[in-house]
């Protein structure tokens, strides 16, 4: 068994226990740096804002990757420390347990708790949403984050090791914080948003194929009908809608038709599919690394 498989197994075990404290979580520090520069910048022309966002991304990603490179090279001769550092970094790049816990909180029938819990996992305004749309938002978020939180980071780990997984997490954090199409971030966050689209392109389609296992005909029909609404997101959102046969709607943006509105039971079922996809994908990743080593082309 190679080192990377050991690292992955330990990282998954830690993920099942919980997340790192914010004080030591690398992604939290990535976010703090983004927030610091975002908070200090002044509004300028769209071209200047685009290059500010571009250079912030290049600067921060370069610094973090360089630090990882130095630490791993210094610890390479001590196998235990080398594995511990890789486990620490890999675990910070993906999150199965946290995604499941956040979605599970949305199973509640109490609308105020539901609204509060949904607001923690979606960027849309939930103040005036009814229960059906709140459950829909939770299911959509859970489905879309299968790619962001699980499939993509492990996809890049499989190909490029810890550097690939962590670089993806940097890209995704930038997109989550500044990749919005609004007045403040339209140009400042454009590079990060496009990078996130590019890096999720293949993993989103892989996830759609995995989800097709559970209802081939309905998933294929939904993907054919709805996949162009969002470049990557619909490959999971439309697939989950097909499997559950429910309506999923982001008011003013899209509506995916099913036979019924969403219920807490559908939220619970979504969690099960998150688990199923995770297990299947982790098995594929381990099999590839076992057969080809890591990186696969070495």
SS (H, E, C) the chain: CCHHHHHHHHHHHHHHHCCCCHHHCHHHHHHHHHHHHHHHCCCCCHHHHHHHHHHHHHHHHHHHHHHHHHHHHHHCCCHHHHHHHHHHHHHHHCCCHHHHHHHHHHHCCCHHHHHHHHHCCCCCCCCCCCHHHHHHHHHHHHHHHHHHHHHHHHHHHHHHHHHHHHHHHHHHHHHHHHCCCCCCCCCCCHHHHHHHHHHHHHHHHHHHHHHHCCCHHHHHHHHHHHHHHCCCCHHHHHHHHHHHCECEEECCCEEECCCECCCHHHHHHHHHHHHHHHHHHHHHHHHHHHHHCCCCCC
Does residue 297 form part of some domain? no
pLDDT score, position 294: 64
pLDDT score, position 295: 57
Beta strands at 254-256 and 248-250: parallel, antiparallel or unpaired: antiparallel
Does residue 38 form part of some domain? yes
Tell me the residue range of the domain where 198 lies: 3-292
Does residue 68 form part of some domain? yes
Distance in angstroms (rounded) separating the CA atoms of residues 187 and 196:
15
Angle between helix 190-212 and helix 152-178 axes, rounded to 10 deg: 140
pLDDT score, position 79: 93
Does residue 281 form part of some domain? yes
Q: Which structure tokens are listed for 15?
A: 């993920």
Cis ω before 295 (30° cut-off from 0)? yes
Q: Which structure tokens are listed for 177?
A: 């914080």
pLDDT score, position 297: 46
pLDDT digits (tens, 9 = 90+) for 65-83: 999 999 999 998 999 999 9
pLDDT score, position 36: 96
Does residue 298 form part of some domain? no
Does residue 155 form part of some domain? yes
Residue keyed to tokens 């984050």: 145
Count: domains in the chain: 1
pLDDT score, position 206: 98
pLDDT score, position 291: 87
Does residue 124 form part of some domain? yes
pTM of the model: 0.94
Does residue 170 form part of some domain? yes
Per-block mean pLDDT, blocks of 10 residues, the chain (298 long): 90 96 96 96 92 97 97 93 97 97 96 96 93 97 97 96 96 96 94 98 98 97 95 96 97 95 97 98 94 63
pLDDT score, position 1: 63
């Amino acid at each position: 068994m190679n080192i990377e498989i050991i690292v992955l197994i330990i990282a998954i075990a830690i993920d099942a226990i919980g997340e790192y404290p914010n004080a030591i979580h690398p992604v939290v520090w990535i976010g703090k740096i983004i927030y610091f520069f975002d908070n200090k910048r002044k509004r300028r022309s769209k071209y200047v804002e685009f290059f500010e966002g571009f250079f912030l991304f290049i600067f921060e990603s370069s610094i973090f990757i360089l630090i990882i490179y130095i630490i791993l090279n210094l610890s390479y001769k001590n196998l235990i420390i080398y594995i511990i550092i890789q486990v620490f970094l890999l675990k910070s790049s993906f999150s199965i347990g946290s995604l499941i816990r956040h979605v599970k909180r949305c199973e509640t029938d109490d609308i105020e708790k539901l609204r509060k819990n949904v607001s923690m996992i979606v960027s849309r305004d939930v103040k005036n949403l009814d229960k059906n749309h709140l459950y829909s938002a939770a299911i959509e978020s859970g489905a879309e984050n299968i790619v962001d939180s699980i499939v993509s980071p492990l996809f890049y780990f499989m190909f490029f090791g810890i550097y690939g997984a962590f670089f993806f997490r940097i890209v995704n954090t930038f997109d989550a914080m500044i990749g919005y199409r609004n007045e403040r971030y339209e140009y400042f966050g454009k590079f990060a948003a496009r990078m996130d689209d590019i890096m999720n392109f293949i993993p989103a389609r892989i996830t759609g194929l995995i989800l097709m296992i559970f209802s081939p005909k309905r998933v294929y029909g939904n993907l054919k009908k709805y996949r162009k609404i969002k470049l990557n997101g619909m490959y999971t959102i439309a697939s989950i809608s097909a499997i559950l046969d429910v309506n999923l709607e982001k008011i003013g943006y899209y509506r995916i038709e099913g036979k019924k509105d969403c219920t807490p039971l559908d939220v619970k079922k979504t969690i099960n599919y998150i688990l199923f996809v995770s297990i299947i994908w982790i098995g594929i990743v381990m099999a590839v690394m076992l057969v080809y080593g890591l990186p696969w082309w070495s």
